Chain A
Amino acid sequence: MSGLAAGIRLAHYDQSVCILEKHWTIGGLNSFYRTNGRNYDVGLHAVTNFTPRGTKKGPLARLLRQLRFRWEDFELSPQVGSAIAFPGVRLGFNNDIDCLRSEIARAFPAEVDNFERLLSQLADYDDLDQENFGGSARAFLAQTLQDPLLIEMILCPLMWYGNARPDDMDYGQFCIMFRSIFLEGFARPYKGVRLILKHLIKRFRSLGGELRLRSGVESIRVEGTRAVGVVLENGEEITAKRILSSAGVIETQRLCDNLSQLEPQKAGQLTFIESISILDKQPKDVGFGETIVFYNDSPHFHWRPPDEQLCDTRTGVICSPNNYLYPSHSGELEDGVIRLTTIADYQRWKQLDDKEYVRAKMWWYDRSVASAVRFIPDFRSHVIDTDVFTPKTIRRFTSHDNGAVYGAPDKQLDGTTHLSNLFLCGTDQGFVGIVGAIVSGISMANMHCLRDPG
């Protein structure tokens, strides 16, 4: 996704661009697969950063302008409403911050003023300016809010949707995620992420860009301090003036054939399983009308890889693609779908043999759903089909080490690498989510390939 966005920018300004996609399908983590005659989205629970038509500020408006799309093109329908559920407390929120405001006034009346203070501090954060990115989000929140439970509840969705670091979060990432989820919000195209991908590819090709599928990069050719081209898995060599890599920071370094000089960097650890349930009716007809529910079953939010098991079901995200305000002419989605995301451990999943793997998928489907139905109505008697994707699936789609969904904890915000003409885009550059991936591709193309056309 970030690569396509960068490609559109560069092709628009008449550069010769070739996008190399390892798989037979596009989109990296923001992709989809088909099994049992049904389409399953991977990645996309929601498009975050949703702002209404006519909004001039924010990442969505920015990417539409940069890629010359109209707001209507992405056919985004806003969420119905979501919630953060902890034992005994539930905070609802939607795409209007007043909803969360009033929920906090109801559940945490002593925090009303502190929350306003928090909002005003966040309003000034500029996501194109990297200087204040570092620092602890927990420390910042502890200075602003009094009630530890409210801090945990606010962090829960933000970490779930974009934190590569266990336990704590970079201050900058916190600000970006807070805005994308609470101040802007969730939306989804009726036809899913495919629609956005389709638009990006069509535009890229119409500008003369070349997209090659099943063209994995075996290595990046290096001469001195420059990358001179890539070697594909089939042996073909392609030369290039500049290379943008969305493979991840460590993964990209590994592709370079002068690896020995590099300092080892830490790969991300946070990865998931996702349990998908197809229901015999719409989720709202079994009592689940919310768009996304982030739950955690104790007052402290556990955001770290599982200690001993394949998964940790104490926290999770429940969502339904059905629960968006789709236009009346689209109607409802055909299948009732509930998706449930649970923290998992890549290494343990990887070690399973084929038989154990299949069994583990079934076992953890049951465990994770049993955990989730403590926070939403029990839908299990309506399930007609299920699928589970695991850290192994995520690894296959993203090529990220450990299947780390949000990549490495230490982001390379300026996209530079040890080579002067090799740059990163996508997750490890810093922006996450669909809008984040697109903005990442745009900003890296602007910064490194357009300002100095060389």
Chain B
Amino acid sequence: MTPAEIRDEIIDILSEIAPDEDLSGLQDEQSFREQMELDSMDFLDIVMELRKRHRIQIPEEEYGELASMASTVRYLEPKMANI
């Protein structure tokens, strides 16, 4: 997947987690927590959805990499390059 495709995939996951959320104005550099008020349970869900959809394993100590869209895409790029 290209970074743009990874971004789309994350948007898709976020829209599944928070169907009432308008994601069109999401700022990539700003944290999800600030913009969407996601809590630790929601971050677990992003991890679980990635595991479910693409069999990507993210160790718990690296959950912090998923803080914003920009950091998430950067972190996932090598992991999802061959998908």
Chain A interface residues toward B at CB < 8 A: 13-14, 53-54, 56-57, 62, 65-66, 68, 70-71, 128, 442-443, 446, 450-451
Question: Distance (Å) between the CB of A256 and the closest chain B CB?
Answer: 29
Q: Any chain A CB within 8 A of the CB of B56?
A: no
Q: Any chain A CB within 8 A of the CB of B17?
A: yes
Whether the pair B52, A68 counts as a contact (CB closer than 8 A) is no
Whether the pair A451, B60 counts as a contact (CB closer than 8 A) is yes
Whether the pair A442, B20 counts as a contact (CB closer than 8 A) is no
Assembly CA distance A442 to B42 (angstroms) = 12
Secondary structure at chain A's binding surface: helix, strand, loop or mixed? loop
Chain B interface residues toward A at CB < 8 A: 16-21, 36-37, 39-42, 44-45, 48, 51-52, 60
Enumerate chain B residues within 8 angstroms of A450, measured Cβ to Cβ.
44, 48
How many residue pairs between the two chains, A and B, have CB atoms under 8 Å in the bound complex? 38
Whether the pair B36, A56 counts as a contact (CB closer than 8 A) is yes
Whether the pair B41, A66 counts as a contact (CB closer than 8 A) is yes
Whether the pair B44, A451 counts as a contact (CB closer than 8 A) is yes
Whether the pair B52, A14 counts as a contact (CB closer than 8 A) is yes
Assembly CA distance A450 to B60 (angstroms) = 12
Nearest B residue to A53, CB-CB: B20
Assess A128 versus B52: contact at CB under 8 Å? Given A70-B19, A70-B20: no
Enumerate chain B residues within 8 angstroms of A451, measured Cβ to Cβ.
44, 60
Whether the pair A13, B19 counts as a contact (CB closer than 8 A) is no
Interchain Cβ contacts under 8 Å between A and B, 12 examples:
A56-B18, A62-B39, A65-B17, A65-B42, A65-B45, A68-B16, A68-B17, A71-B20, A446-B41, A446-B44, A450-B44, A450-B48
Assembly CA distance A71 to B39 (angstroms) = 18
Whether the pair B36, A13 counts as a contact (CB closer than 8 A) is no
Nearest B residue to A69, CB-CB: B19
Assembly CA distance A442 to B45 (angstroms) = 12
Enumerate chain B residues within 8 angstroms of A446, measured Cβ to Cβ.
41, 44
Enumerate chain B residues within 8 angstroms of A442, measured Cβ to Cβ.
41
Whether the pair B44, A54 counts as a contact (CB closer than 8 A) is no
Enumerate chain A residues within 8 angstroms of B20, measured Cβ to Cβ.
53-54, 70-71
Question: Distance (Å) between the CB of B18 and the closest chain A CB?
Answer: 5
Assess A66 versus B45: contact at CB under 8 Å? Given A56-B36, A57-B37, A128-B39: yes
